[in-house]
């Protein structure tokens, strides 16, 4: 848990960064709603509506949708959103820990397989750009019978 001093440093860093990036206060608010863990997290349209409070006249929702999309393609907006996510704990080490948890857990094999798939994608261990990973679980006796060496990717399934 962050101390009061660490929290103040985070706020100060966030405050300076949005100014350095040339964002106006509404753009800053949009980013904070978009990157927050509240109900607007990752929802550009709702973050836009909350930050800009557009008048609900005519085709206002589609305009808000288009404006949110435009904001999310702005390099400075994206840099600020990414920095907010990193400062609040969503960074490579955190994601790596979550992925490790998924791969090593033994309760939900669908999640485990998904974690292994993601790991293989990140490490570029899949061939042909495929989007599937096959995990074969073989008992020790079957491994001997079919001459499967767990350290070798060239093992065949022919009887020994």
Q: How far apart are the first and last CA of the chain?
A: 55
In this structure, are 117 and 135 located in the same domain?
yes
User: 76 with 138, same domain?
Assistant: no
- Over residues 105-114, the mean pLDDT reads 75
Do 28 and 68 have their domain in common?
yes
Domain limit, last residue, from 40, 67, 87: 87
128 and 65 share a domain?
A: no
Cα separation, 20 vs 23, in Å, equals 8
How do residues 70-95 score in pLDDT, each as one tens digit? 999 999 999 898 888 888 776 677 77
Of the residues 60, 87, 114, the one at which a domain ends: 87
Residue-level pLDDT at 142:
57
* Closest C-alpha to 50, from 19, 71, 75: 71
16-55 pLDDT, tens digit per residue, is 788 888 899 999 999 999 988 678 888 999 999 999 999 9
pLDDT tens-digit readout, 114-137: 777 777 777 777 765 555 544 555
SS (H, E, C) the chain: CCCHHHHHHHHHHHHHHHHHCCCCHHHHHHHHHHHCCCCCCCCHHHHHHHHHCCCCCCCHHHHHHHHHHHHCCCHHHHHHHHHHHHHCCCCHHHHHHHHHHHHHCCCCHHHHHHHHHHHHHHCCCCCCCCCCCCCCCCCHHHHHHCCCCCCCCCCCCCCC
* Last residue of one domain, picked from the residues 47, 65, 87: 87
35 and 68, same domain (yes or no):
yes
Does one domain contain both 122 and 138?
yes
- Residues 56, 149: Cα–Cα separation, whole Å: 65
**What CA–CA distance (Å, rounded) separates 69 from 4?**
35
Domain count, the chain: 2
Do 77 and 96 fall within a single domain?
no
Per-residue pLDDT, 65: 95
Residue 153 lies inside a defined structural domain of this protein: no
- Residues 31, 81, single domain; the answer is yes
In a domain, 150, yes or no: no
Domain of residue 138, residue span? 92-145
Q: Is residue 80 situated within a structural domain? A: yes
Whole-model pTM: value is: 0.54
- Report pLDDT for 57: 93
In a shared domain, residues 40 and 65: yes
Q: Please tell me whether residues 20 and 38 are part of one structural domain.
A: yes
Compute the distance between CA of residue 33 and CA of residue 41 in angstroms, rounded to an integer. 6
Q: How far is residue 118's CA from residue 130's CA, in Å, rounded to a whole number?
A: 12
């Amino acid at each position: 848990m962050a101390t009061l001093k660490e929290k103040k440093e985070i706020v100060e860093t966030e405050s300076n960064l949005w100014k350095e990036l040339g964002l106006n206060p509404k753009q800053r608010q949009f980013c904070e709603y978009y990157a927050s863990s509240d109900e607007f997290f990752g929802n550009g349209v709702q973050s836009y509506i909350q930050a800009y409070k557009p008048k609900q006249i005519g085709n206002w929702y589609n305009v808000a949708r288009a404006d949110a999309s435009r904001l999310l393609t702005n390099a400075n907006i994206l840099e600020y959103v990414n920095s907010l996510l990193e400062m609040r704990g969503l960074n490579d080490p955190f994601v790596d820990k979550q992925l490790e948890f998924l791969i090593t857990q033994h309760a939900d094999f669908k999640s485990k397989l998904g974690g292994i798939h993601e790991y293989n994608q990140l490490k570029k261990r899949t061939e042909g750009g495929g989007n599937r990973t096959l995990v074969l679980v073989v008992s020790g006796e079957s491994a001997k019978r079919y001459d499967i060496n767990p350290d070798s990717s060239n093992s065949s399934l022919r009887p020994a």
